[in-house]
Amino acid sequence: MLRVPEEVLRRRYLKLQEGIKALGLDAVVVRALSTFIYLTGIKWLRPALIIPADGEPLVFVARGEEEGFKQMSWIKNVDTFVEGGELMGKVSSFLRSIGARKVGMEFGVERDAYILFFETFKRLNKGVEVVDVSDLIDSLRMLKDDYEKQFLREAGAKAKVAFEKALNVIKPGVSETEIAAEVYNTLYKLGSEEPLVYVNAGPHPRIHSEPLSTVKVVEGTTVTVVIDADHFRYYVNKSASIPIGSLSEAGVKALKCMDEVFNAAVEQTKVGVRFADVMKKLDEIYAKHGMLGYRVLGYVHSVGLKVEETPITTILPKHRFMEVKPSMSLAMVHAPILLPGVGQVKREETFIVEEDGRLTQIT
């Protein structure tokens, strides 16, 4: 029942262990779900995964779940808990048994990686130094292996079908939630397990456009549909803005600008190029069309086990100075134009950077 072969998952695990040793850590405690999936091969709520610097991993799951977990993951060293206090006690006890004095954790904002766990861990392990290993884990996950690339391609195929379904229902009077419902229904039927759909019907643009039942499609505006389809929880992004009837002159300019920005981004994003340098060229296009003041800064982010992964140029300025590398998975142009009176204007597709440097569009 493994979704990814054991040898692939074990290879990821051993690479992480190499990084653990290089940082002088005794172990890493994983609570972030996306990293848990990356290493175990399966999503499991409320788990704890301990990776010692040497030896086999240990997973804690709720009592009664252990046999099901063993069937879906390569890790067979499994212990159980019945409540959070027992879990924390067992994690601490295991770390003491191996003499751990320096332990890594991911400092992130992700489901199950709660700060409460972190604070409780520190109280129970006063002599243990806790180190952020986010950069180490990001460096491993940023470059996708062949299985990850195939999962992304599968997700891309689902996103294409779902987008065509959305086009069939977009018309004046239809609500954002009705559009989203059609997309969700399609994606779940295609096997997506945790898709995300955003819809913004103008004239009032919203950058984080979770669909609202009270907002309906009107003439003379845009409807932007953002589809985050997944395959085995590997995500792609596909977005487009659909004009409803005749747009204002500013709306027409914004659509033309976004098309030009998208084409330039695809052309300029090459192996060895810094994202910041591409952003400068894109800003010249925004300025030419009079849209510089309406665009959101940043244009690209990675996708994978999270909808937005390193590099995330729209959120973290330091990521803008990273370079494009083979085996990256990139969604661009992620940042929209927010044009009052018209709506959100966006065009986004997902690409894989091939080993020879080519960009292959998969959505």
For residue 3, is pLDDT > 90? yes
Which part of the chain is CATH 3.90.230.10? 146-361
Q: Return the closest-CA partner of residue 285 out of 227, 239, 335.
A: 335
For residue 126, is pLDDT > 90? no
**What is the reported pLDDT for 109?**
65
The residue-averaged pLDDT of 349-357 equals 96
In the chain, the percentage of residues whose pLDDT exceeds 90 is 88
**What is the reported pLDDT for 115?**
64
Report angle CA 42, 44, 45 to the nearest 5 degrees.
Answer: 155
For residue 111, is pLDDT > 80? no
Dist CA 286 CA 10 (whole Å): 46
pLDDT tens, position by position, 252-305: 999 999 999 999 999 999 999 999 999 999 999 999 999 999 999 999 999 999
Q: How confident is the model at residue 112 (pLDDT cuts 50, 70, 90)?
A: low
**What is the reported pLDDT for 125?**
86
Answer with the residue of higher pLDDT: 116 or 208: 208
Dihedrals φ, ψ of 239, to 5°? -140, 150
Which amino acid does the sequence have at 204? H
**What is the reported pLDDT for 114?**
62
**What is the reported pLDDT for 119?**
78
**What's the fold here for domain 6-141?**
Creatine Amidinohydrolase; Chain A, domain 1 (3.40.350)
For residue 17, is pLDDT > 80? yes
**Kind plus residue range of the DSSP H or E element containing 188:** helix 176-189
Q: Which CATH architecture has domain 146-361?
A: Alpha-Beta Complex (3.90)
Dist CA 277 CA 270 (whole Å): 11
Residue 227 in contact with residue 238, Cβ under 8 Å? yes
In the chain, the percentage of residues whose pLDDT exceeds 70 is 98
Q: How confident is the model at residue 243 (pLDDT cuts 50, 70, 90)?
A: very high
Report angle CA 73, 140, 30 to the nearest 5 degrees.
Answer: 50
Which amino acid does the sequence have at 106? E
Strands 102-105 and 27-30: parallel
Average pLDDT value over all residues in the chain: 95
Q: How confident is the model at residue 127 (pLDDT cuts 50, 70, 90)?
A: confident
Which part of the chain is CATH 3.40.350.10? 6-141
Residue 251 in contact with residue 268, Cβ under 8 Å? no
Place of tokens 């060293």: 77
Which of the residue ranges 65-79, 122-136, 161-175, 204-218 would you say has the lowest mean pLDDT?
A: 122-136
pLDDT tens, position by position, 62-78: 999 999 999 999 999 99
**Cα 327 → chain centroid:** 16
For residue 121, is pLDDT > 90? no
